[in-house]
Amino acid sequence: MTIDQSKFIELEYATLRKEIETSKANMFKLVVGGSAVIPAAQSVADSYSIGVITLALPLVVAVLVLLFLAENHAVMRAGTYILQEIEPKIDGMKGWETWLNSVQTNTGTRTVDKLLVFAFSVLAASYFIASVALAVRYAFREFGQQGQYVVGGIYALLGAALSFVLYSQARTDTKAASSS
């Protein structure tokens, strides 16, 4: 079976756009799901006195952040590939990724992507701080002051690492992704 180059490029483009669509949907689900799951889990922990849930909630937030970043990278990786490998092969046409990165759109480049990353960052930071406060309070009640310091210290380090990773790794345009 042979396939000509133009058909291959067309199929590759369609596949990558579908991958971007799926990743964007997953990012949205992570934001909405995180908004619901974290409070619900804490409610279950309080209702049934399951302290381990309270202690683990900051880890759940950390996993959500890492999953969000994975989806974010998938979108930007596919967009970068389209920009660098597919669009240059199409003579006389400017593709979507080229247009997004053009000088004409400098003031509004990827506004939606920037807002999504910002909204997720605010939500994740809020939930992480609240879940750490609840975990530290629980640790104090169950394990005393020493337990409070241990749990607080561990989660403070995790929070600093997550902040660094989210700030340094979240991408909002294919130019940033293509230079890394």
- What is the predicted pLDDT for the residue at 54? 96
The predicted model gives 105-110 an average pLDDT of: 60
Contact 122, 68 (CB under 8 A): no
- What is the predicted pLDDT for the residue at 93? 85
Transcribe 19-63 into DSSP letters: HHHHHHHHHHHHHHHHHHHHHHHHHHHHHTT-HHHHHHHHHHHHH
User: Phi and psi for 90 in degrees, rounded to 5?
Assistant: -105, 105
Going by pLDDT thresholds of 50, 70 and 90, the confidence category of residue 175 is low
pTM recorded for the entire structure: 0.87
Lookup: tokens for 65: 């952040």
The predicted model gives 70-92 an average pLDDT of: 92
The pLDDT tens digits of the residues spanning 4-29 come to 988 999 999 999 999 999 999 999 99
The helix (H) or strand (E) run that includes residue 94 is: none
- Burial of residue 22 (number of CB atoms within 10 Å: 0-12, 13-18, 19+): middle
Going by pLDDT thresholds of 50, 70 and 90, the confidence category of residue 178 is very low
Domain ranges of the chain: 5-177
Contact 158, 58 (CB under 8 A): yes
Reply yes or no on whether the pLDDT at 179 is more than 50: no
Going by pLDDT thresholds of 50, 70 and 90, the confidence category of residue 180 is very low
The pLDDT tens digits of the residues spanning 38-73 come to 999 999 999 999 999 999 999 999 999 999 999 999
The predicted model gives 102-108 an average pLDDT of: 57
Measured CA to CA, the distance from residue 60 to residue 130 in angstroms comes to: 13
The pLDDT tens digits of the residues spanning 130-166 come to 999 999 999 999 999 999 999 999 999 999 999 999 9
- Burial of residue 57 (number of CB atoms within 10 Å: 0-12, 13-18, 19+): buried
Q: Compute the radius of gyration of the chain from its Cα atoms.
A: 21
Find all residues with CB under 8 Å of 163, minimum gap 6, and list them. Answer: 125
- What is the predicted pLDDT for the residue at 103? 53
Output 106 or 169, whichever has higher pLDDT: 169
The helix (H) or strand (E) run that includes residue 176 is: helix 174-178
